[in-house]
């Protein structure tokens, strides 16, 4: 684990931003910036993740600053909540640690035309049906099985491949980040072992912090933006959080083995071996990017097939088709990914590889990549909280492009490690505590709920307040959980 940053090395930039100066550590090419208020910083200051922000600042080709969002906590190489953009024309590198093991772990949100008074009498049956019909848990497989040829086609085409098989609609593609597909995918560079692991896991939730949550819109902060997104108070929504499952994990694991010794061969000195990287234009760099894009496409397909099963479960409980229930996609965002994007740096537009690890894209209005319906508004930003409090929908603001390469936070962020959370839960029934708060929780294990208990997370309302104050994203609506399915 990285050494601890000296507390006096942090310099205040604003009410919600702190700087690690580039002279803090030998090898830093840029400053580090952390977005947090005083109360969040009181916890963040002692987290070794802060030193990881300084380590990332040492990567070749890094632009502006090494960034961290208010949901920052320690991760592999990069902190969770970390953002880094590199310029391949200046020797910029790609680092699997800046994407993570769960490639394109992300969140999508479905709205409905149901309201809480209509659903409340049926909520127990609804959650039980979702728990029965949506595969969740470590190693669980689902009803969608693909042979190697089919799976490699899926890896190359993303959600469009499912649309051609009537498992997605045009709207499902339109309202997913990047249309549910990264064009740089090279399925042939995904190992046989990764393909084998992914063959029966597409359309499964997984474990850890992944979840399926039934929510009620309990607060609308921006009525105009909410109307454009089709959201209104007391509406029932569903949030799905999952990624690329065993396939993505294997792609990352394969890449880290492939990159052993690569930094040394290119004369790249790293403060932490977990920052293993390769120049973007190098053969190992291209191999990782091609496989990473393929795994990202798998993750979008995974969330799409989870959506199909959620829609079917709602139709079963309420006796109407998902179309009649209005269960359309609000948006789908990735938060463990690297993408080639245009950004202005030093008065020049550049093509940069933006690493977002536990961080969400937050493009402002008029960005050409946004769906037509959101072009004048800005990108919906989905921020899940914890099982007992709330989640948020925001919309990207201009400050994100000016400060953070079009990025904001991805969730509340852990304040307790999984081990500490389990210790904290000894002798308790988290499911009963949640039931007392009006949340029905179903999970494959006691440990799964213990690791993800509300006390393990920061207050999402405070985290979201920071990104709004920093002009990265603006609050649109708040949702409270009423039903949760966990692995």
**Quick check: helix, strand or coil at residue 378?**
strand
- How many Cα neighbours within 13 Å face the side chain of 463? 33
The SS3 of residue 215 is strand
Q: Is residue 260 part of a domain?
A: yes
369 burial level (CB within 10 Å; 0-12, 13-18, 19+): middle
**199 lies in a domain?**
yes
Sign of CA dihedral 208, 173, 362, 182: positive
Query: Active-site positions?
Result: 410
Residue 263 lies in a domain: yes
* Domain count of the fold of the chain: 1
Six token digits for residue 311: 């829609």
pTM: 0.96
Q: In degrees, to the nearest 5, what angle opens at C-alpha 376 toward C-alphas 359 and 99?
A: 15
| Structural domain that includes position 241 | 10-486
Q: Are 390 and 339 in contact (CB under 8 A)?
A: no
What percentage of the chain has pLDDT greater than the value 90?
95
- Kindly state whether residue 246 falls inside one of the protein's structural domains: yes
Q: Which of 261, 288, 253, 360 is nearest to 94 (CA)?
A: 288
Residue 1 lies in a domain: no
Domain membership flag for residue 5? no
Residue range 403-451, pLDDT digits in tens:
999 999 999 999 999 999 999 999 999 999 999 999 999 998 899 899 9
Closest CA to 211 of 429, 407, 427, 411: 411
Residue 392, domain member (yes or no): yes
123-133 and 283-318 helices cross at what angle (nearest 10)? Answer: 140
Q: Quick one: tokens of 459?
A: 């207050």
Cα-to-chain-centroid distance, residue 188: 26
Rounded alpha-carbon distances, angstroms, from residue 300 to 105, 177, 245, 250: 9, 9, 11, 17
| 400 touches 469 (CB < 8 A) | no
Is residue 3 in some structural domain? no
Per-residue confidence of the chain (487 residues) as pLDDT tens digits?
Answer: 334 455 567 999 999 999 999 999 999 999 999 999 999 999 898 899 999 999 999 999 999 999 999 999 999 999 999 999 999 999 999 999 999 999 999 999 999 999 999 999 999 999 999 999 999 988 788 899 999 999 999 999 999 999 999 999 999 999 999 999 999 999 999 999 999 999 999 999 999 999 999 999 999 999 999 999 999 999 999 999 999 999 999 999 999 999 999 999 999 999 999 999 999 999 999 999 999 999 999 999 999 999 999 999 999 999 999 999 999 999 999 999 999 999 999 999 999 999 999 999 999 999 999 999 999 999 999 999 999 999 999 999 999 999 999 999 999 999 999 999 999 999 999 999 999 999 999 998 899 899 999 999 999 999 999 999 999 999 999 999 999 999 8
Environment class of residue 42 by beta-carbon count within 10 Å: exposed (0-12), middle (13-18) or buried (19+)?
Answer: exposed
Q: Provide the greatest CA pair distance for the chain.
A: 64
Residues 67 and 220 sit within 8 Å (Cβ to Cβ): no
Model pLDDT for residues 440-453, shown as the tens digit of each residue: 999 988 998 999 99
Residue 165 sits in a domain whose CATH number is: 3.90.1860.10
How many alpha carbons lie under 13 Å from residue 73 in its C-beta half-sphere? Answer: 16
């Amino acid at each position: 684990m990285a050494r601890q940053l000296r507390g006096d090395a942090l310099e205040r930039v604003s009410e919600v931003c702190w700087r690690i100066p580039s002279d803090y550590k030998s090898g830093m090419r840029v400053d580090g910036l952390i977005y947090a208020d005083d109360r969040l910083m009181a916890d963040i200051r002692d987290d070794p993740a802060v030193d990881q922000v300084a380590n990332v600042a040492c990567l070749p080709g890094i632009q502006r600053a090494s960034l961290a969002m208010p949901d920052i906590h320690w991760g592999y190489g990069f902190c969770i909540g970390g953002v880094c953009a590199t310029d391949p024309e200046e020797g910029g590198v790609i680092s699997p640690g800046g994407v993570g093991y769960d490639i394109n772990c992300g969140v999508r949100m479905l709205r409905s035309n149901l309201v809480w008074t209509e659903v409340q009498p049926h909520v127990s049956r609804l959650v039980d049906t979702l728990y029965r019909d949506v595969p969740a848990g470590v190693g669980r497989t689902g009803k969608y099985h693909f042979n190697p040829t089919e799976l490699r086609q899926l890896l190359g085409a993303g959600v469009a491949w499912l649309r051609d098989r009537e498992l997605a609609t045009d709207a499902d593609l339109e309202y997913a980040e990047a249309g549910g597909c990264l064009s740089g995918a090279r399925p042939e560079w995904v190992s046989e072992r990764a393909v084998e692991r992914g063959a029966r896991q597409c359309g499964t939730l997984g474990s850890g912090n992944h979840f399926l949550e039934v929510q009620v819109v309990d607060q609308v902060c921006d009525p105009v933006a909410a109307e454009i997104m089709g959201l209104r108070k007391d509406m029932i929504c569903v949030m799905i959080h999952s990624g690329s499952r065993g396939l993505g994990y294997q792609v990352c694991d394969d890449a880290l083995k492939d990159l052993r010794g690569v930094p040394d061969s290119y004369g790249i000195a790293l403060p932490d071996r977990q920052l293993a990287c390769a120049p973007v234009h190098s053969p190992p760099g291209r191999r990782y990017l091609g496989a990473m894009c393929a795994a990202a496409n798998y993750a979008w397909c995974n969330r799409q097939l989870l959506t199909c099963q959620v829609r079917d479960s709602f139709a079963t409980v309420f006796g109407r088709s998902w179309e009649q229930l209005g269960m359309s996609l609000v948006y789908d965002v990735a938060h463990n990914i690297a993408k080639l994007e245009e950004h202005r740096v030093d008065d020049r537009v550049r093509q940069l590889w933006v690493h977002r690890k536990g961080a969400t894209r937050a493009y402002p209005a008029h960005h050409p990549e946004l769906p037509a319906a959101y072009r004048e508004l800005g990108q919906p930003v989905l921020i899940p909280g914890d099982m007992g409090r709330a989640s948020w929908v925001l919309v990207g603001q201009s400050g994100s492009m000016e400060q953070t390469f079009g990025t904001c936070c991805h969730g509340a962020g852990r304040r307790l490690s999984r081990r500490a959370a389990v210790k904290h839960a000894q002798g308790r029934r988290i499911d009963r505590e949640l039931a007392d708060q009006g949340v029905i929780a179903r999970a494959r294990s006691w440990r799964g709920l213990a690791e993800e208990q509300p006390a393990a997370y920061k207050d999402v309302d405070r985290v979201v307040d920071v990104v709004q104050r920093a002009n990265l994203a603006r609050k649109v609506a708040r949702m409270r959980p009423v039903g949760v399915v966990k692995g």
